[in-house]
Amino acid sequence: MEIELYAFKEVMARWASGVTIATTRSKATPLGMTVSSFASVSLHPAQILICVNRNASTHAAIEESGYFAVNLLAVDYLEWGVRFAGLRPEVTDRFEGIIWLTAQTGAPILPGVLGWLDCRLRHAFASGDHTIFVGEVVAGGVRSDGAPLLYYRRNWRQLEGQVLQPKG
């Protein structure tokens, strides 16, 4: 027996996550999408994963290129999160006005993000309507300040700034 879709979505909406933009290229064209399904997989070798809907154009481009980058968004990049999530239908080129760089693979690295990881695709596992892409990290960088952009209960959020200390 499978969980009812609404119940599943309600439970998952209670999981706070950071917001990233996964990028790649199809030939010379940069492609990207907002991704919240992102995690560290391994330290040796350094690997991460992202989960991408198989219907997304970015999905086919990652398979084709064999690389992707993950850009960690700060709160001051909310508009990019919205744009790359496809929530601005009038925007046909998600990279318009963004001067991006590359590191080792050729995947677009977005300027001013909290951090970025440039990856070579190592594994792809089909699961439901998504593919789990595991990338071996070949380069990365961070910004020295800023607060993360979060997504929780279907809303964009930010930390309140209070650091909690565990007892003991």
pLDDT in tens, 77-136: 999 999 999 999 999 999 999 999 999 999 999 999 999 999 999 999 999 999 999 999
pLDDT (average), residues 28-46:
96
Please state the pTM of the whole predicted model. Answer: 0.93
* CA-to-CA dists, residue 34 to 17, 72, 83, 161, angstroms: 12, 10, 8, 24
The CATH code for residues 15-158 is 2.30.110.10
Helix/strand/coil for 79: helix
pLDDT in tens, 38-73: 999 999 999 999 999 999 999 999 999 999 999 999
What pLDDT score was predicted for residue 166? 84
Give 74's DSSP letter. B
- For residues 58 and 52, is the Cβ–Cβ distance under 8 A? yes
